[in-house]
Structure 1
Amino acid sequence: MSAVRDVVAHALREAAKYNADSSTPPAAVFWPDPDRAWEPVIGLLQEVVPILVLGEYDSAKAQGPSIWIRTILSASDSVELPAHLAERNDRNPWVIYLPGHGRSSLSDVTTLDSAVSPLAEVALRSNWWPSAYGQAAWTPHAFLGSKNGAGLDIASDAKTKSALTSVLDRLLAEDVHEMRRIGRLDASRLHSLVMTDSVRALLEWLDDPEGTKQALEGARWEAFVEACRSTYGFDPRKDGQLTAATRLGARAGAWRDVWARFVDNPRRYPSLPAVLDKARPEGDLFGGTDPHPDSWPSWNQEQENQLRKALADLDKQNDLGQVRAAVSELAATHLRRDESVWGELGQAPLARVMGYLAELAELSTTPARAGDMQAQIVWYADEGYRVDDLALRAIAAATTAADRDVVCKALKKVYDPWVEATARAFQTAAVAGYNGQIGLDVNRPGESGDSDCWEGWSHAREHHEAVSVGAEGSGGADGRGTSEG
């Protein structure tokens, strides 16, 4: 990998070349930068090129006044330099970086600034970058886009130049060949270097605008704003949180990916559901039917309320077939909400209940298998227990007293008839072929005997009776099937 930074370093080394037959080695390479455009990345370049910076003394930055720089050029061992400063040798000459100064600052002796005057004599024995006298100092945009520089295809509009300033440190670390392969580098592509996950940043901003702005700050915030403008069609500085939330709920264009990421991990953004509800459009905003009504938490709550009423209305039905058909229809309408983001957040408990009730309604159409007690035990252990289990799961899924009340009323209609029929089948088998025993010896595990059969029957019957009593206590089954045993 050859980083863009290495291209800059190579150019600075090339500026130190001289004709050994006619010239002496240059004392240094002077680098003018009147606009201070390179200043934010000098620290990165110092890792590959020995750069001394003209300015107020700061040993950690290898920065100091002109006299200090002359001292280093004369006897570098006498001055302590930072460890990260690249080792100087014939291949790596000293580079003197002049932020805020152009070449004329040292070439015109009549207007010498006192800040640079001690370097005037050194400049006469040194090379410059760029080397041609009168050539404008290299700006990052000019050098990186030049065939004599990095050879990148960089757009020249104001937004791109501004973006380049913001992400220059990141761009220098990129592979120059990869950057050339990408093609035209505009503001959007440059910002993507620092904003690698704009979708996550957008969701975090929707969840907490102020906190996210503080966390991003600087170049990353500017990159985020640009990504919102170019990709998502809004400006977070002007349009605000509710505008973005409305577009998130509409899921058009690039917002589909944002919604998919939210659904993938909604608990990561705890404040976002409330924001979505505030942004829910009123009236006929979508020109008829909202294409994504399930984007709004309040819609889901409306559906839960309708389902609660529909379950309560089952109590008015007396035909078991009609009750089962109604349960199946309600499940087809509402069960998908259990798989939605609101189900994931636990805001659709009755939708989950419908999955259990629909399966229970289907399984309960199969009556208990006729036969002796052993056949009853085998049937319950293989199949019958599933109906009881679904009833328990339906009750457990109801999270409020009001929900449990309507669930138990629904169970009374669709589950109690099965409990009654099953209990009577068990009783018939018991009357026909079962002789009760008192003081039965129960073998320990591993011992043989008829107790295994008795234990299996006891477990099945206890489970069955517990469900019947539980349903009765909750307003469901009346328990008559077990009271006659």
Structure 2
Amino acid sequence: MISTALRDCGNRRSVKNAIMSETLAQRLAAALRTAGQAYAAGDQVAPCAVLWTDPERLWECVMPELHPMLPELFLLGPYVPEKRTGPALWLRCIEARVVEGAPAAGTTPMFYLPGISREKLRAAEDCPQELSALVELQYRGVMWLHVNGKEWTPYGFLVSKHGGLGLDVAKDQATLDALAGALPSLMAEPVSQLQGRRLDSEFFDGLVAPDATGLLLAWLSNPEARKQRLSDPEWKAFCQQCKTDFQFDPVKDGPLKAAKLLADRGNHWIKV
């Protein structure tokens, strides 16, 4: 009995540790799978597909992180079947399981539709011809939507206590802009590390450019080359951190002013 109790205790600890280490990408994947399982077995037919509409393409940047985790996730786009991407008619064939690469029976396919809104699909008569093959799926499938009936946004998923993560995220424009740039990096963050703290633009910028001081010195040594090596989110995060930490704008002020500020060793530059 003692050995059984110890084993049960160890199992509970393992489950707790697994939950604590779950990343944002894992929680997002779980939410999508839950959408496909939200039906009353015996009384309802399982949805044929999960439709993920994203009119503003807010989630498109995380597909490289999410796609490998969800073998049942397919993307609307150019026909590249080996990458699970294709036009509406091909997605319809995936749902019907008449083409190679379709998920096994019992696994609900998910279709990510960048640039497409739920209204566009629901307006059947006015729906673009290239999307017509998907219109019927909204009746046999399910859309991944917020409880208010709107598309999930990254901000909404982070803060919502109904189907989201219930996190504390600032809602000023600087934070929303920083979140958009940091979203791919945020996917790898354990959710437990995001709980119990205020997530703002400084936090999100820090994810993208964690060493602002080192990056500033590297930029000063070769401004143009360093800028070209940074992605657009990284450059934006770096600029915002310079404004916040050093009261300096790399775009407006330029490297000559930065060099002078560094030489003067003012309050904000003494740590550089």
**Fold agreement, TM-score > 0.5:** yes
Q: Are 2:198 and 1:184 equivalent residues in the alignment?
A: yes
In the other structure, the counterpart of 1:250 is 264
State the AA in 2 paired with 1:218: D
Task: Pick the aligned partner of 2:76 from 51, 54, 59.
Answer: 54
State the 1:204 CA deviation: 0.9
Contact 2:79/2:86 (<8 A) preserved? yes
State the AA in 1 paired with 2:80: D
State the 1:246 CA deviation: 2.2
1-side partners of 2:34 and 2:269: how far apart? 49
State the 1:93 CA deviation: 2.3
State the 1:256 CA deviation: 2.1
State the 1:230 CA deviation: 0.4
In the other structure, the counterpart of 1:15 is 35
Q: Superposed, which structure 2 residues align to 1:293-312 within 5 Å?
A: none
State the AA in 2 paired with 1:41: V
2-side partners of 1:165 and 1:243: how far apart? 29
State the AA in 2 paired with 1:99: P
In the other structure, the counterpart of 1:168 is 183
State the 1:105 CA deviation: 2.1
Contact 2:146/2:152 (<8 A) preserved? no
Contact 1:43/1:61 (<8 A) preserved? no
State the AA in 1 paired with 2:258: A
- SS of aligned partner of 1:164: helix
1-side partners of 2:45 and 2:118: how far apart? 21
State the 1:227 CA deviation: 0.8
1-side partners of 2:146 and 2:230: how far apart? 40
State the AA in 1 paired with 2:190: D
Question: What CA deviation, in whole Å up to 9, does each residue of 1:115-169 have, x standing for no partner?
Answer: 221122222111111165x711111111112122122221111111111111110
In the other structure, the counterpart of 1:100 is 115
Contact 1:195/1:223 (<8 A) preserved? yes
Question: What CA deviation, in whole Å up to 9, does each residue of 1:9-61 have, x standing for no partner?
Answer: 11111111210121111101111111111111123211222211112212343
Q: Superposed, which structure 2 residues align to 1:274-313 within 5 Å?
A: none
2-side partners of 1:173 and 1:185: how far apart? 16
State the 1:188 CA deviation: 1.6
Q: Superposed, which structure 2 residues align to 1:86-165 within 5 Å?
A: 90=106, 93-130=108-145, 135-148=149-162, 149-165=164-180
Question: What CA deviation, in whole Å up to 9, does each residue of 1:407-454 have, x standing for no partner?
Answer: xxxxxxxxxxxxxxxxxxxxxxxxxxxxxxxxxxxxxxxxxxxxxxxx
Tell me the TM-score normalized by structure 2: 0.85
2-side partners of 1:47 and 1:88: how far apart? 17
- SS of aligned partner of 2:53: strand
Which structure 1 residue ranges, 5 or more long, are not aligned?
A: 82-86, 259-485
Q: Give the percent of matched residue pairs that are identical in Structure 1 and Structure 2.
A: 37
In the other structure, the counterpart of 1:39 is 60
Contact 2:247/2:268 (<8 A) preserved? no
State the AA in 1 paired with 2:76: L
In the other structure, the counterpart of 1:241 is 255
CA radius of gyration, larger in: 1
Task: Pick the aligned partner of 1:71 from 83, 93, 101.
Answer: 93
In the other structure, the counterpart of 2:235 is 221
Q: Are 2:45 and 1:24 equivalent residues in the alignment?
A: yes
State the 1:94 CA deviation: 1.0
1-side partners of 2:23 and 2:260: how far apart? 42
Higher RCO, 1 vs 2 (CA within 8 Å, ≥6 residues apart): 2
State the AA in 1 paired with 2:244: S
1-side partners of 2:146 and 2:238: how far apart? 39
Contact 1:18/1:24 (<8 A) preserved? yes
Query: As a proportion of its length, which structure holds more strand?
Result: 2
Contact 1:44/1:169 (<8 A) preserved? yes
State the AA in 2 paired with 1:11: A
- SS of aligned partner of 1:115: helix
In the other structure, the counterpart of 2:24 is 4
- SS of aligned partner of 1:31: strand
Taking a change above 3 Å as real, the CA distance of residues 208 and 30 of structure 1, as seen in their structure-2 partners, is: same
- SS of aligned partner of 2:270: helix
Contact 1:53/1:97 (<8 A) preserved? yes
Contact 1:8/1:150 (<8 A) preserved? no
State the 1:251 CA deviation: 2.4
Contact 2:60/2:114 (<8 A) preserved? yes
Aligned residues: 249
1-side partners of 2:63 and 2:218: how far apart? 33
